[in-house]
Amino acid sequence: MELMLGGLRAAAEPTRLRLLALCAEAELTVTDLTQILGQSQPRVSRHLKLLCEAGLLDRSREGTWAFYRLAQRGIGAELAKTLVDLLPPSDGILSRDRDRLNHVRQARAEAAAEYFRNSAAEWDRIRQLHIDEAEVEREILACFGDRRIEEFVDIGTGTGRLLELMAPRADRALGVDLSREMLAVARANLERLNLRHCTVRHADLYQLPLAPASADAAAFNQVLHYLDNPGLAIEEAARVLRPGGRLVIVDFAPHDLEELRRDHAHRRLGFRDDEIAGWCQAAGLEVEPAVTLPGDALTVSIWSAIRLPDLGLVGLAARQTEHVQ
């Protein structure tokens, strides 16, 4: 009861109710919120701090920025959602806040579109080398089957396309990426589609901002070929999967297009099935037969693997020996 009372006390102030309403609509920075509310940065930051301490808002750090959104879990999340639902949609102050929020969203979308326009020509040229992405996406969905996904993680999310694809099947979806420019594109895309249960974070894929066994599905979509250590990335993905959780890896089969390494920062020119299987097995994942989708110059491979129960070092070594035999 004390947690609920604390949440009610934190929310019982006009500006903080406005903040809850805004953060229920989108992930927003302090700068965004000061522009919308017309209040000073120290004052807005103080209100946000109280709401976070009460468990009504989630805060995520991204470099020098911090993003705020309505809490997603716990009593605070339930209380915050209830309070927002009770706010009258016709209230004049809240309506003006929403109008200003739409201006902020539009500015974000325009900035993201400009970045993407500058990169689109090269992206499109690479896409022409392999099979149509719609076919790849159909196979990705087939890998996850029809079951409901509670927590989905898109590792190296880029523009957030995989989050969009998986959104109808997931209760919550998180995309992580090191590129702030790509995250800006992803945020704009998710906001445009009103996918409030999907979010993105600035994070290193070798150190995911997730607890062990906290997700039941994850994916790398055309990510591993950029990495120095794909095996370590797979190990980290396995760490955050629950037993029985599924990891899907989409990448190229081995090829000889050196221009992708020279001009587009590809560190690996595709992967053999046994390479992916070896990394998965070392991480405690049981890999299934790969799906291959040949294209004009590049073949896309899709590997799916299941997180095994924690067998300990002895049990895992015995299972790996079975695969070798």
| Highest-pLDDT range among 15-24, 118-127, 252-261, 292-301 | 15-24
What is the per-residue pLDDT across 92-124, written as a single tens digit (0 to 9) for each? 999 999 999 988 878 776 765 665 556 655 655
Higher local confidence (pLDDT), 240 or 29? 240
Q: Indicate the burial class of 92 (C-beta count within 10 angstroms; 0-12, 13-18, 19 or more).
A: exposed
Q: How many residues does the chain have?
A: 325
Q: How is the chain split into domains, by residue range?
A: 2-102, 129-324
Q: Is the dihedral of CA 269, 129, 123, 208 positive or negative?
A: negative
Average pLDDT for residues 171-185, to the nearest whole number?
Answer: 90
pLDDT confidence of residue 252? 92
Q: Which residues contact 239 (CB under 8 A, 6 or more apart)?
A: 208, 212, 283
Q: Specify whether the CB–CB gap between 149 and 165 falls below 8 A.
A: no
Tell me whether the CATH fold assigned to 2-102 matches the one assigned to 129-324: no
**Which CATH number applies to 2-102: 3.40.50.920, 1.10.150.130, 3.90.550.10, 1.10.10.10?**
1.10.10.10
Q: What is the CATH number of domain 129-324?
A: 3.40.50.150
The predicted-structure confidence for 131-169, as pLDDT tens digits, reads as follows 788 899 999 999 999 889 999 999 999 889 999 999 999
Mode of pairing for the β-strands spanning 198-202 and 170-177: parallel
